[in-house]
Amino acid sequence: MAKESGLGLTLTVDDSAGTGRAITNDVLSVSWGMPSNVQDVTGLDKSAFERLHLLADFSINISGVFNDAANLSFAVFKNYRTLAASQVGRTTSIAHSGQTLANEVLFTDFSHNRGADGSLPWTAPGVLADGTVPVWA
């Protein structure tokens, strides 16, 4: 396998009706993390830390440019608190090079900033919703 850039990444987020929408064209940047908590279990007989893995987590930060065309970023996030009856969160999928990371995400904000230059970028941070361990597939 050769090293690769992030070019060609696809980001899909469910809208409030539960339909996945590819919003990649509106996204300027995305960052995500899959941390695990750890517990310090170091006994007095140790000279270095001893730890256990605990719960896994997932978080995402998406930033983009305002686009209120049908089924794109504004339509997806404008009702970020609204979920379809069957949703625990919004399925958010990152796909790249044949690998997909899909999680149920609760978006915690949808903020806009009108810049002095006239730009109107937005951010949408989210966190794991349903207790499923994040795994690339």
pLDDT per residue as tens, the chain (137 positions): 689 999 999 999 999 999 999 999 999 999 999 999 999 999 999 999 999 999 999 999 999 999 999 999 999 999 988 888 778 899 999 999 999 999 999 999 999 999 999 999 999 999 999 999 999 99
Separation between Cα atoms, residue 90 and residue 21, nearest integer Å: 11
- Helices and strands, number each (H, E), in the chain: 1, 10
Task: Extract the tokens encoding 126.
Answer: 């989210």
Domain boundaries along the sequence of the chain: 10-128
Residue-level pLDDT at 84? 80
Residue-level pLDDT at 88? 86
